[in-house]
Chain A
């Protein structure tokens, strides 16, 4: 096997090594191209990872449904009728639409996004107060700083407990003061704090300053009966959210005698759409990065070919001597193509190492707990392999140009040249 021929390699390295500066200049193009490629890909991947981190804990295939007022008259009802969901709707939907994975009913104290005053020891906080099922945590994971989230026991026993946001904590407690086990008063009812959570800065559906209490306790304490404010729903994997969304709406419209063409009676928000937008954005970004990077790499490899062409011209005599001494055209060709590959691969690795260093520094600066949509900037192994295979492939193709030039030189002409 010629590839294991030690002499062949020492020939190549001797040739490249005899003019280190020129070899280095030749490599510079590919080094820079590789840096650009890896930084672009790393940045795009980092953005993709960053968004993923932001969305972590939020079910990507989820939607929210709430009731509004009708905008079309139907079955003798006038327009502008206020629709009020009932808790039984949740059971009906869960039973009739099997694509629903989790359905978390919720009720809010006061009007939507209304502010309720929460009291503690003379301090007050204007908060949103939600009656929730514990399974809301499966759709929108709460990052708990302390304590726990609501659970089934709280629901069954109508426990007067609550989970408060960091913002609420800041308003009601001194810094560093223990809050777990303390009571707060909402509409004259005392609730025991069991957990404090940190809101997700990037996806904030519940508002900054919120208090969660068990749905059952909410019903009992505030006399909300069987009313339900809105529903957070996640659908099963492999099911498209808009399909389920229209199924749900059709069912609810039928139940509440809403005109089927009425678009405003039932409000909804499809979170999967946001996810898909972000995902396609980062995918396009990665694609563009790859494209630009590979073209830059191509330019770098062409630069190598150019320099090798000049080198071949310079080495006309040397090649002539080698031919006179018995080097076949194939041997000469192989040597020049291998020179091209060696320069390219070495430069590629150097560029790669430098770029990875940059990415590591960037990762270090961004850190773990940043709200910027950048996280773990790095290129993936498949991207690395594809880049390298492409680079080597290009270097072979482009190395053939100077190699063919070299073997066109007749030894007699080469030797005559002084």
Chain B
């Protein structure tokens, strides 16, 4: 699903250049649930941003679902994001004046899906995250866990190839975190490819594979026995 070869990225900070990613190589197969771990400054967020086409690499190859991702302008990047990727953010990033259902339907709007179908799909995915009754509520009326579940529903609504989650449990208490992870695991069970950036080992253990980043290189890449989140819920 994802092939990355020799990915480099550096940021210019005044006269100095900060080399963040120093040659990353890794592949993700369809249906994997991968945790990208590392301390802050290890380059894990940069890697996720490049995977999410929110940022571009300096050198290296990135192939997503057999499509080489290169020479992106903003318009093309927006189209690819819309078509291939679903995002879940640490701070939920819901649009605060839109109801849960409207938030979920937003990526579909940019896909030019007809209104009626959008509403049906939005409700379907809200149901999947267990928030169908909250469809007409504004984000301010939802708890943190509920917000993140709406965000996950929104990421799923566009039926992306890959779900990218940047610290999805970072703003949640551990009980809610496990609920969200339970949901993510169930979505993965249905065959969705998911990448999670996290620095919490217990969250990483709930994935099927852990990629450890340190100082811009992968120091460890192992498949693990998944801990089911259900048991903590």
Q: Which residues 71-129 of B have a CB within 8 angstroms of A?
A: 74-75, 78-79, 81-83, 87, 89, 91, 93-95, 97-98, 106-107, 109-111, 115
Interface contact B95-A321, CB-CB below 8 Å: yes
Query: Is A411 a contact partner of B54 (Cβ separation < 8 A)?
Result: yes
Contact across chains for B75 and A330 when beta carbons are under 8 A apart: yes
Q: Does A6 count as interface, using CB distance less than 8 angstroms?
A: yes
Nearest chain A residue, comparing its CB with the CB of B78? A328
B52 interfacial contact with A, CB 8 Å: yes
A49 vs chain B, min Cβ distance (A):
49
Contacts of B78 in A (CB 8 A): 323, 326-329
In the bound complex, CA of A16 to CA of B49 (Å): 31
| Per-position 1/0 for A1-13, Cβ under 8 A of B | 0000011000100
Docked complex Cα distance between A11 and B52 (Å): 25
Contact call A7/B109, Cβ cutoff below 8 A: yes
Q: Indicate if the CB atoms of B115 and A7 lie closer than 8 Å.
A: yes
In angstroms, Cα B204 to Cα A161, docked, is 117
B154 within 8 A of A: yes
Give CA–CA (A11, B118) in the complex, Å: 14
- Asked if A221 is an interface residue, CB under 8 A from chain B, the answer is no
Task: Specify the chain B residue showing the minimal Cβ separation from A18.
Answer: B97
Q: How many residues of A contact B (CB 8 A)?
A: 26
Name the residue in A18, A321, A418 with the highest tally of chain B Cβ atoms < 10 Å from its Cβ.
Answer: A321
Q: How many A-B residue pairs have CB under 8 A?
A: 63
- What DSSP secondary structure best describes chain A's contact surface? helix
Chain B contacts with A in 114-164, Cβ cutoff 8 A: 115, 154, 158
Q: Which of A6, A317, A323, A325 contacts B154 (CB 8 A)?
A: A325
B91 touches A324 (CB 8 A): no
Is B221 interfacial (CB 8 A cutoff)? no
Q: Is A412 an interface residue (CB 8 A)?
A: yes
Q: How far is the CA of A325 from the CA of B85 in the complex (A)?
A: 8
**Chain B positions within 8 Å of A11 at CB level:** 109
In the complex, are the beta carbons of A328 and B75 less than 8 A apart?
Answer: yes
Please give, as numbers and ranges, the residues of chain B lying within 8 Å of A327 by CB-CB distance: 78, 110
A418 touches B91 (CB 8 A): yes
Q: A326 is contacted by which of B89, B95, B158 (Cβ under 8 Å)?
A: B158
B29 at the interface (CB under 8 A from A): no
A415 within 8 A of B: yes
A152 within 8 A of B: no
Are A331 and B110 interface neighbours, CB within 8 A?
Answer: yes
Q: Which B residues touch A328, using CB under 8 A?
A: 74-75, 78-79, 110
* Chain B positions within 8 Å of A156 at CB level: none
Report yes or no: A326 in contact with B54, Cβ–Cβ below 8 A.
no
Asked if B55 is an interface residue, CB under 8 A from chain A, the answer is yes
Q: Is A322 an interface residue (CB 8 A)?
A: yes
| In the assembled complex, A14 has its CB within 8 A of some CB on chain B | yes
Give B160's nearest chain A residue, CB to CB.
A326
A324 near B98 with CB under 8 A, answer: no
- Which residues of A are found within 8 Å of B52, using beta-carbon distances? 324
Contact (A14, B91) CB under 8 Å given A323-B78, A325-B110: no
How far apart are the CA atoms of A324 and B84 in the complex, in Å? Answer: 11
Q: A18-B97, A412-B55 are in contact. Are A324 and B74 (CB under 8 A)?
A: no
| A325 touching B74 in the complex, CB below 8 Å, given contacts A317-B93, A418-B91 | no
Q: Is A407 an interface residue (CB 8 A)?
A: yes
CA distance A154 to B114 in the complex (A): 84
Contact, CB under 8 Å: B75 / A329: yes
Say which residue of A6, A15, A415 sits within 8 Å of B115 (CB atoms). A6
B81 partner, pick from A6, A326, A407, A418, beta carbons under 8 A: A326
CB distance from A315 to the nearest CB of B (A): 9
Question: Which single residue of chain B is at the shortest CB-CB distance from A407?
Answer: B74
The answer to the question of A318 belonging to the interface, with a C-beta cut-off of 8 Å to chain B, is yes
Q: Please judge, given known A-B contacts A326-B81, A407-B74, whether A412 and B111 are in contact too, CB under 8 Å.
A: no
In the complex, per-residue mask of A313-345: 1 if CB is within 8 Å of any chain B CB, else 0 = 000011011111111111100000000000000
C-alpha gap A318/B96 in the complex (Å): 9
Of B75, B87, B115, which contacts A324 at CB under 8 A?
B87
Complex Cα distance, B158 from A327, in Å, reads 13
> A162 to B89, alpha carbons, bound, how many Å?
99
Report how far A7 CA is from B111 CA in the complex, Å: 12
Q: Which of B54, B79, B83, B106 touches A412 (beta carbons < 8 Å)?
A: B54
Question: CB-CB < 8 A to A7: which residues of B?
Answer: 109, 115
Sorted nearest first, the 8 A-B pairs with minimum C-beta distance are A326-B82, A18-B97, A326-B110, A412-B54, A328-B78, A325-B107, A328-B75, A321-B93
9 pairs of residues in contact across A and B, judged by CB atoms under 8 Å: A318-B95, A321-B94, A322-B110, A325-B82, A326-B111, A328-B79, A329-B74, A407-B74, A412-B55
Tell me the A residues contacting B by CB distance below 8 Å. 6-7, 11, 14-15, 18, 317-318, 320-331, 407, 410-412, 415, 418
